[in-house]
Amino acid sequence: MNKSGPAFTVLTWGCQMNEDDSEQISNLLMRMGYQPAGNEEDADIIMLNTCSVRSKPEQKVRSKLGELRALKELNPDIIIGVCGCMAQKEGKALRRRAPHIDLIVGTANIEHIPEMITGVLRDRHPLALLDLPRAVNDQAIVPNRLLERGQIGLKSFVSIMYGCDNFCSYCVVPYVRGKERSRPPAEITKEVRILAERGVRDITLLGQNVNSYGKTLDENRDFTDLLALINEIDGIDRIRFTTSHPKDLSDKLIHAIAEMPKVCEHLHLPIQAGDDEILRAMRRGYTVDDYRGLVSSLRETAPNVALTTDFLIGFPGETDEQFENTLRFAEEIRFDSAFMFAFNPIRDTAAAALPDQLQPKVKNQRLRRLIEAQNRISVEINESHIGELFEVLVEGISPKDPSKVTGLTRQNKTVNFPGPASLAGTLVEIRAVKAHLWGFTGEIV
Ligand code: SF4
């Protein structure tokens, strides 16, 4: 082994909240004196940050744990930890199938990883910490975030709240992330200021349902008030946020998107299905018409906003007609893009126990049809912007084409265009010359 000191690696599955947690874990480990390892074989600590929202990432984690067993046999001193939703959901039972796990860290306990590692090193005994806030307004476990960051670039995530109180019938998040709780605005703005001082220009505020930010705070501030505070921070050029829930999207927020200069013209607003009966069975708390009304007022107030969504196809009992309603809705609204998935039952959720689970073949056929339609719409929308000018925050050389640089528009579309690497970190005006599914090829104006 050729390395200069103790090293770690964090493997991440799942959503942006997990990516943000993994960054926190890396920073905690670096503060303990560990350095990022080039590969798993060189690591003294391997953390698996897991996801339970779909079955595929769970399978991947199980197979990775299988591979790591051999590594642990070769090097019994290596520490293997599991955190994230799967750790919370399965808890100590994880060790029945994978006794080589040393640490099981619940979703609200990341900040305790350093002391857990110290405990394992001292006692050579596995540890688990799985406390989760259960009571309404239980603010006891709003995680302490480490504000000193390791390596950061132009973009950064900032978690503003944790947990979810919505209990959509297909979703495991409320069970594994606990009750909704918001971080105080002063802590969030302090973190954003530190990031701005370190060169971050584009931040994404994260929460399972950012539109309900503030409900658990003592002070009377909602999400739009938080946006207004961040909008004033020097050095930050762009503010993004995800995820918004249609039932909590206010007029005030729509106006903020239109009027606050740093808030980007992009809204991700998951619809999931375009049929009222399915939405009711999903326990989403809105109707197709409610959603339609939100889109009308958004497009009236902020016509430049790119609208993206999530679709969940093949919910138990979904009929051909109900699926056609969803397909028609996608054609009617014309989303800029969408994350599209086939329903898979997740253990312990209400939808997993519903009768009339559909055959995989049916779900996959429907999903394919929706993807085809949505991809066509995405390209058509991008084609309609050919010749228009966009502000791009240049991130560096395009990984796919080294002759071009790459960056994002405020509408969250990728643009690749010919230009020197020295443009990285600058805001450049480009003209869209060719449309793709993901955005544009462009040219500097
Ligand atoms: S809003 Fe619904 S889908 Fe989103 S995290 Fe909460 S329960 Fe899950």
Q: Where are the alpha helices (DSSP H) in 203-317?
A: 223-231, 251-259, 276-281, 288-301
The predicted pLDDT at position 136 comes to 46
Residue 215 and residue 245 in contact, taking contact as beta carbons nearer than 8 Å: no
Among candidate residues 307, 244, 243, 312, the one with its CA nearest the CA of residue 279: 312
Q: What does the pLDDT look like over 243-299, one tens digit per residue?
A: 999 999 999 999 999 999 999 999 999 999 999 999 999 999 999 999 999 999 999
Q: Is 226 in the pocket of ligand 1 (CB under 6 A)?
A: no
pLDDT surpassing 80 at residue 143: no
pLDDT surpassing 50 at residue 333: yes
pLDDT surpassing 50 at residue 11: yes
The domains of the chain, with CATH numbers, are 7-129 (3.40.50.12160), 143-255 (3.30.750.210), 265-384 (3.30.750.200), 389-444 (2.40.50)
pLDDT-derived band at 3, boundaries 50, 70, 90? low
Q: Tokens 């909240």 appear where? A: 17
Ligand 1 atom at minimal distance to the Cα of residue 245? 1
Q: What mean pLDDT do residues 60-77 have?
A: 94
Q: Is 169 in the pocket of ligand 1 (CB under 6 A)?
A: no
Peptide bond into 441 cis (omega under 30): no
The predicted pLDDT at position 151 comes to 66
The predicted pLDDT at position 400 comes to 86
The predicted pLDDT at position 1 comes to 45
- 3-class SS at 434? strand
Q: From the CA of 388, how far away is ligand 1's center (Å)?
A: 36
Q: Is 171 in the pocket of ligand 1 (CB under 6 A)?
A: yes
Q: From the CA of 249, how far away is ligand 1's center (Å)?
A: 14
Ligand 1 atom at minimal distance to the Cα of residue 167? 7
Q: Is 378 in the pocket of ligand 1 (CB under 6 A)?
A: no
User: For a pocket test of ligand 1, which of 15, 168, 212 has the largest count of ligand atoms closer than 8 A to its C-beta?
Assistant: 168
Ligand 1 atom at minimal distance to the Cα of residue 172? 8
How far is Cα 185 from Cα 210, in angstroms, rounded to an integer? 13
Least confident of 85-89, 267-271, 371-375, 440-444: 85-89
Q: From the CA of 351, how far away is ligand 1's center (Å)?
A: 13
* Average pLDDT over all residues of the chain: 93
- Higher local confidence (pLDDT), 142 or 283: 283
Q: Which helix (H) or strand (E) holds 325?
A: helix 320-333
Q: What does the pLDDT look like over 210-234, one tens digit per residue?
A: 999 999 898 899 999 999 999 999 9
The predicted pLDDT at position 222 comes to 96
Q: Is 411 in the pocket of ligand 1 (CB under 6 A)?
A: no
The predicted pLDDT at position 54 comes to 82
Ligand 1 atom at minimal distance to the Cα of residue 53? 8
pLDDT surpassing 50 at residue 208: yes
Q: What does the pLDDT look like over 157-192, one tens digit per residue?
A: 999 999 999 999 999 999 998 889 999 999 999 999
Ligand 1 atom at minimal distance to the Cα of residue 164? 6
What pTM was estimated for this model as a whole? 0.92
Q: Is 174 in the pocket of ligand 1 (CB under 6 A)?
A: yes
